[in-house]
Amino acid sequence: MIIGAGPTGLFATYYAGFRGLRVVLVDSLPELGGQITAMYPEKRIADVAGFPAVKGRDLVEGLVAQASTAGATHLLERTALSLTQEADSVSVGLDDGTTVRAAAVLVTAGIGTFTPRPLPVGPEWVGRGVEYFVPDFEPYRSKDVVVVGGGDSAFDWAEHLEPLASSVTLVHRRDAFRAHERTVAAVRASSVRILTKAQVVEISGGDAVKAVVVRTDDGVEEVLPCQAVVAALGFVADLGPIQTWGLETAKRHVVVDSSMRTSLERVFAAGDITDYPGKVRLIAVGFGEAATAVNNAAVVIDPSAHVFPGHSSEA
């Protein structure tokens, strides 16, 4: 059983099929792809082996096609609530009343559920010009856009919207950014206007956003005409019921060893949810962890199996 249908879970599904295992794939979202599908389908991802850059939706499309070879059962829009260990299996209860009994469980739930941090002056404008995610760039064509935030999402969206929008202004409350240096440099070199030590303090309009008021730390206010505001202030992650299963955790992540085993028998984890010394949270790392977890789980399921299955090119 694989819990989490993001990139790591999808690759784990394929690899489990490659190992001849039957797979059930569970995710609380209605579509495969996890956080990428929900929030970043148009984002260019530049740290996946074999791709100089690949759009999020294209990466997910390839992973779904690859995973389909496993013939997995998909249980989408289901949340794993409980986990019970038995002598030779693990039972997981879902929120629809279904119980899945598996010889091993692999948790690839990423950051868990995620809720965007709200723009203090923006809640009543959501859907009327204020958005927290940008799954499609086309609706922003020829609009004046204000992006609020200083992290990777804010800079990614500013960079991608700049060629389409009439104007893009990025507003951040500090003069330092959390975003990747390459992206910051690209945005600085573009026509995007960057306002630092500033905050959006007011939004105005009728049925839709027409302008925002930006106030700097020294009290200077400026009215920016705009038809769209993207609030990229990060999100609150929650592992939810997984936290009640008795897994050893550290700072909201599941602790694993070098074989991706958790503190519970027959329960493995891979991807962003895991923690161990030297952990690097990249999609590329998640793929390797998925293969490691599945190969070690295969031996737990069948003690006569080998951890190393041979190379796929030899099949």
Tens of pLDDT, residue by residue over 214-233, are: 999 999 999 999 999 999 99
Based on the domain organization, do 27 and 107 belong to the same domain? yes
Query: Model confidence at 35, in pLDDT bands (50, 70, 90)?
Result: confident
**In whole numbers, what is the pLDDT of the chain averaged over residues?**
93
Q: Do 125 and 228 share a structural domain? A: yes
Of the candidates 67, 64, 40, 65, the one whose C-alpha atom is nearest the C-alpha of residue 54 is: 40
Domain boundary among 203, 233, 263: 233
| Residue list, annotated binding site for FAD | 8, 27, 35, 40, 80, 114, 272, 313
**Is there a single domain that holds both residue 194 and residue 267?**
no
109 and 122 belong to one structural domain: no
Does 99 share its domain with 26?
yes
Between residues 136 and 102, the one the model is more confident about: 102
pLDDT, tens digit, 9 for 90 and up, residues 52-77: 999 899 999 999 999 999 999 999 99
DSSP string, the chain: -EE--SHHHHHHHHHHHHTT---EEEESSSSTTHHHHHH-TT-EE--STT-SSEEHHHHHHHHHHHHGGG-PEEEES--EEEEEE-SS-EEEEETTS-EEEES-EEE--TT-EEEEPPPTT-GGGBTTTEES--S-SGGGTT-EEEEE-SSHHHHHHHHHHTTTSSEEEEE-SSSS--S-HHHHHHHHTSS-EEE-SEEEEEEEESSSEEEEEEEETTS-EEEEE-SEEEE---EEEE-GGGGGS---EETTEEE--TT-B-SSTTEEE-STTEE-TT----HHHHHHHHHHHHHHHHHHH-TTS-S----GGG-
Same domain as 43, residue 150:
no
Residues 124, 227, single domain; the answer is: yes
pLDDT in tens, 163-204: 999 999 999 999 999 998 999 999 999 999 999 999 999 999
Task: Name the CA radius of gyration of the chain, rounded.
Answer: 22
What predicted TM-score, i.e. pTM, was given to this entire model?
0.79
Predicted pLDDT at 128: 94
pLDDT of residue 148: 97
Q: Which of 202, 233, 264 is the last residue of a domain?
A: 233
| CATH number, domain containing residue 186 | 3.50.50.60
| Shared domain check, 229 and 123 | yes
Residue where a domain terminates, one of 189, 206, 233: 233
Residue 17: which of 309, 313, 261 has the closest Cα? 309
Structural domain of residue 21, as residue ranges? Answer: 2-114+236-314
Q: Is the pLDDT of residue 315 over 70?
A: no
Tell me what percent of the residues of the chain surpass a pLDDT of 70: 99
Q: What per-residue confidence (pLDDT) applies to 46? A: 87
The total number of structural domains in the chain stands at: 2
The residues that bridge with 261 in the sheet, in sequence order, are: 268
pLDDT digits over 261-296, tens only? Answer: 999 999 999 999 999 999 999 999 999 999 999 999
Instruction: Tell whether 221 and 133 lie within a shared domain.
Output: yes
- Tell me: do 105 and 152 sit in the same domain: no
Query: Does residue 123 sit in the same domain as residue 80?
Result: no
Binding residues: 8, 27, 35, 40, 80, 114, 272, 313
Please say if the pLDDT value at position 208 is more than 80.
yes
Residues 128, 205, single domain; the answer is yes
What is the structure's pLDDT at 245?
A: 96
Across 38-64, average pLDDT: 89
Buried b (16+ CB within 10 A) or exposed e, 273-307: bbbeeeeeeebebbbebbbbbbbbbbebbeeebee
